[in-house]
Structure formats: C-alpha cells, structure tokens
Amino acid sequence: MQNTNTLAGPLFSKSIHSHTTVLLYTCRYLHTRGSSPGPLFVFPDKTPISRTYLSSQLSACLSHAGYDPSLYKCHSFRICAATTAATRGYTDVQIQSMGRWRSAAFRRYIRIPMMTL
C-alpha cells in the first residue's frame, strides 16, 4: 500500500535506494511543512499523525524494503533519538525535555554500545 498526500508525497517509494534520496525527500518535506512549532510529522491539514498511522506506515515501509516489521516498533525512534542525543553530549535535562519525559524513564531509552564507553 502506498499512501500519498500533497504535503509529504509518497511515504515510501521503490525509487528510494540511497541516503542521498532519503535526504532529498526529507528536505522537501521539511520545506513544505514549514517551520511552525509542533509535531514534525503532520498531515496536509497540519494535524499530527497518530501513533497508529505511524506504526502502520513503518510496518509497510519495512516490509517493502525486505525487513521483518516485527523487529521494529515506533519506540525505536525514541530509543534512537535519546541515544543519539546522549552520545552527542546533550544533558539529561535536555534529553528529557526533547522526548517529553516527566521522569527518569528516558534513561532506559539510551543504548550506548559498551565498545564506545
């Protein structure tokens, strides 16, 4: 299933085979979305996409790319963001704020490989 809309265009495409293409699509989306505050991923009417929608699109994209969608969940994005922020030197307070965590639960999302410690 390929979903298209006027804001984001195709959510996935067989033509996406390189990091350059992904970057191009991302830049186009960000340009079209604009810099208004709010969620990053929105529908054309600027309402935020739901977790259910994101989850279904993630599964479809992974299947299309030949990956097992059962191995990936939407929380993978939170794990990646928290881990990336931690490895780039962001403070606990900054990471907590970026992920909208109200407790120290964010620490469970930070997954720094032992080899890098």
Per-residue pLDDT of the chain (117 residues; tens, 9 = 90+): 444 444 444 444 555 556 677 788 888 888 888 888 888 888 888 889 898 998 999 899 899 989 999 998 888 888 888 998 898 999 999 999 888 888 988 888 888 876 555
Q: Closest Cα to residue 83, out of 114, 100, 102, 107?
A: 107
* pTM to 2 decimal places: 0.54
Return the pLDDT at 7: 45
Return the pLDDT at 18: 62
In a domain, 6, yes or no: no
Which residue range(s) make up the domain with 110?
75-116
Number of domains in the chain: 2
In a domain, 8, yes or no: no
27 plus 65 within the same structural domain: yes
63 plus 88 within the same structural domain: no
In a domain, 55, yes or no: yes
Helix %, strand %, coil % for the chain, to 5? 50, 0, 45
In a domain, 50, yes or no: yes
In a domain, 108, yes or no: yes
In a domain, 1, yes or no: no
